Structure 1
Amino acid sequence: MPEWIDTVIRSFIFLAALFFMTKILGKKQISELSFFEYISGITIGSIAGEAITGLENSIIQGLLSIAIFSLITLLVDYLALKSKTVRNLVDGRGTVLIKDGKVLEDNLKKEKYTIDELSALLRQKDIYRVADVEFAVLEPRGTLSALLKKEHRPLTPKDIQLKVADEKEPQTIIMDGQIVDEALRSAGKSRGWLLTELAKLELTLENVFIGQVDSYGELTVDIYDDKMQVPSPSERPLLLATLKKVQADLEIFSLGTEDEASKAMYIKNAKLVQETIDKLTPYLSS
């Protein structure tokens, strides 16, 4: 057999073998690696490269070597799950780099990081002043976890005791002008509803690049023509405005009548509508 044909055959065999072994090892092999996984991945790749190009070696030996290293990696991962000692040995421990707004220089030198590199890691988290940081840890995988001081953290609805509605994952029901029926069913919508909503926007299905339905059942679209403006969903704001108008009208009616029974009825219903508005505002606000 010619050598180039042998090389092609070996390439396909080891490509399939590496793909199969990587699937077994899991997503960690293509995401953040521990020191051991990094070394193992390099070694497996080197073995595959040598087995593909080193024609004097047999395919069986190359596959056996890859299988051994894959099994060792799986074994180490299993032991790390069962033992914190092994986990600390393989993955390492986090190192505190900033505490109470002060950089711990000894820990920074220990991890061989410069102040420029630390600043770059902080900027990736939109932090530009070390003094704003309460606590920062360099994780075993090389990422930086930082906690801002309380006065510098973003304000949340909970901080001001504001009730907000829960949101679910938007469903992409149109892709490249084609309806995605599975996503449409997950959103609890029909094709008829979708076509009606598109007609309201004066669009056809072919005009739409991406269409999504949010947790409120509203359709938002991105069309091929970037110069064309598509109106935002307005059903919820309009409903909220209508409820507020009804409540205001009831109060006006209560002030404009001389009949005490009618006045009491208007006031009572105005309060009921206001209570409804208070409950629905988190869901109807834009």
Structure 2
Amino acid sequence: MYGSIFIEILFGFVLLFFVAKMLGKTQIKQLTAFDFVSALILGELVGNGLYDDKVGLLEIAYAVFLWGALIYITEIITQKFKGTRKMLEGSPAIVIHKGQLQREIMRKGKLDIHQLLHLLRSKGVFSVREVDYAILERDGSISILHKSSFQNPTKSDLDVPLTPVHLSFSLINDGEIIINNLREIGKDRTWLNNELKKQGFPSVEDVFYAEYIKGQKLLIQGYEDNS
């Protein structure tokens, strides 16, 4: 019995992993109401099959792949036929317009004032008066355009000379070199080892985390710094 449960769990895990990869990252990141229900049902299909003696591996595989195919087809339909997107995925809704709460839009979106204030606070906004526009996105998150008096000044506003922006790269994580990032910045192990020694780290194994930004000193944190 335990052996069959182990096999079915392993089999279901592999299937769900495959389906998740097939559907893509946006299915996970941009979780709409339809996606949420789909994920629950997909998990239920596998979960129910594990403890039903009449259901074998083939039945589990068939159910998972069938449901995954239906979700995949739905995604294709929404991409090819734009008119179906609103029905299947929903659409963004303006819940604050020119500083005014849109009660009817909030009611249709099942969003009360407490939920809205919570979403605003999650964006660092603690008063409705700071917001010019707020849009409730399809996945339930909120996007905010601050009123001009509450917007942070930019370098252009302050007439400050613009400087290039450089991406940071993690070079060492938990004592292991991230080779792809090292190649991306055009450096090699010899350069990295020399940089470590300059800051008193004899080897990569002594480093918990190292981060590189062009034009700046290599950020290095050892294991002793975490103790």
Per the shorter chain, which TM-score range? Answer: 0.7 to 0.9
Kindly provide the CA deviation profile for residues 225-262 of structure 1, in whole angstroms up to 9, marking residues without a partner as x.
Answer: 339xxxxxxxxxxxxxxxxxxxxxxxxxxxxxxxxxxx
Residue 114 (structure 2) pairs with residue 125 (structure 1): no
Number of residue pairs the alignment of both structures matches: 226
Q: 1:182 to 1:43 in 2, by over 3 A?
A: closer
For the residues of structure 1 that align with 2:167 and 2:124, how far apart are their CA atoms?
26
For the residues of structure 2 that align with 1:193 and 1:86, how far apart are their CA atoms?
54
Q: Which amino acid aligns with 1:225?
A: E
Q: 1:46 to 1:191 in 2, by over 3 A?
A: closer
Report matched runs for 1:25-36 at 5 Å: 25-36=23-34
* CA drift at 1:216: 1.3
For the residues of structure 2 that align with 1:197 and 1:61, how far apart are their CA atoms?
57
RMSD: 2.4
Q: Does the 8 Å contact 1:101/1:131 carry over to 2?
A: yes
Report matched runs for 1:1-286 at 5 Å: 3-205=1-203, 207-216=206-215, 218-226=217-225
For the residues of structure 2 that align with 1:211 and 1:177, how far apart are their CA atoms?
9
For the residues of structure 1 that align with 2:211 and 2:20, how far apart are their CA atoms?
34
Normalised TM-score (structure 1)? 0.71
Which structure 2 residue ranges, 5 or more long, are not aligned?
none
Q: 1:191 to 1:11 in 2, by over 3 A?
A: closer
* CA drift at 1:48: 1.1
Q: Which has the higher contact order (CA 8 A, sep 6+)?
A: 2
* CA drift at 1:199: 4.2
Give percent identity, aligned residues only. Answer: 27
Structure of larger gyration radius: 1
Q: Does the 8 Å contact 1:29/1:41 carry over to 2?
A: no
Normalised TM-score (structure 2)? 0.87
Moved more, 204-213 or 89-98: 204-213
Structure 1 segments of 4+ aligned residues over 6 angstroms from their partners: none
Q: Does the 8 Å contact 2:32/2:140 carry over to 1?
A: no
* CA drift at 1:178: 4.6
Q: Which amino acid aligns with 1:215?
A: K
